[in-house]
Chains A and B, each alone.
Chain A
Amino acid sequence: KAGVTQTPRYLIKTRGQQVTLSCSPISGHRSVSWYQQTPGQGLQFLFEYFSETQRNKGNFPGRFSGRQFSNSRSEMNVSTLELGDSALYLCASSFGSGRETQYFGPGTRLLVL
């Protein structure tokens, strides 16, 4: 079974731009969660989607948004990028609606200049 894939793996953007990151879950998994990891703030929860519905959202500004498609693939979008958005963005998939045994993708490393 293929694992969780994330594209792109690396990305460089400038302040003010917007970015879209993609996550393809393991086949059959219907839940996708997104996380941000930075040296300063550590790991933080962004969103959780199940069957195209956002079930939960972390404490992030409205510039951060996401969605899930009918094939369970998910995207997250960050508009008006700030330097502090530079981070490793991880997505994880699981079969059910909770976080039981999540499988993580390799991450997208975003650098904002």
Chain B
Amino acid sequence: ELKVEQNPLFLSMQEGKNYTIYCNYSTTSDRLYWYRQDPGKSLESLFVLLSNGAVKQEGRLMASLDTKARLSTLHITAAVHDLSATYFCASENTGNQFYFGTGTSLTVIP
């Protein structure tokens, strides 16, 4: 079974600081996805990473994928309060198994 682990589970950071969320997965993965969820809300797609070395950026968020290390990172640059949310990664392997990570709850403190 494909396992997806995120760390940290909880992250409290000051505005203006940088930080990285890590997503490790256990088997060969075709695709890696990042999502955002605000409290009490639905999910929002952030990034889809399709190949080794893929890097995508949107505003203060940048996601990357290293398929050899089975690792994806979500880097937050100069955090602002609006980025406070729970971030999930999800991995899809060649067998079409699709699993989410446990989520990282991010709180940005003024």
Q: Judge if B42 is at the interface, Cβ distance under 8 Å.
A: yes
**Contacting residues, chain B, for A45 (C-beta < 8 A):** 98-100
Does A7 sit within 8 A of B, measured CB to CB? no
User: What 15 new A-B contacts, CB under 8 Å, besides A35-B43, A90-B43?
Assistant: A42-B100, A43-B43, A43-B88, A43-B90, A43-B103, A44-B99, A45-B100, A92-B45, A99-B48, A99-B92, A100-B48, A102-B45, A104-B42, A104-B44, A107-B42
Known: A42-B102, A43-B100, A56-B98. A104 touches B31 (CB 8 A): no
Q: Which 9 A-B pairs have the closest CB atoms?
A: A43-B100, A45-B98, A104-B42, A104-B43, A56-B96, A102-B45, A107-B42, A106-B42, A101-B45
Residues 59-110 of B contacting A (Cβ, < 8 Å): 88, 90, 92, 96, 98-100, 102-103
Q: Which of A45-87 contact B (CB under 8 A)?
A: 45, 48, 55-56, 58
Q: Does B33 contact A (CB under 8 A)?
A: yes
Query: Which residues on B are within 8 Å of A, measured CB to CB?
Result: 31, 33, 41-45, 48, 88, 90, 92, 96, 98-100, 102-103
CB distance from B86 to the nearest CB of A (A): 10
Q: Taking chain A's interface residues, is the majority helix, strand, or loop, or is none over half, making it mixed?
A: strand
Judge whether A25 is part of the interface by a CB distance below 8 angstroms: no
> In the assembled complex, which residues on chain A have CB atoms less than 8 Å from the CB atom of B41?
106
Complex contact B98–A58 (CB within 8 A)? yes
Q: A42, A58, A92, A102: which contacts B103 (Cβ < 8 A)?
A: A42
15 contacts between A and B (CB under 8 A): A42-B100, A42-B102, A42-B103, A43-B88, A43-B90, A44-B100, A55-B96, A56-B96, A98-B31, A99-B33, A100-B48, A101-B48, A102-B45, A104-B44, A104-B45
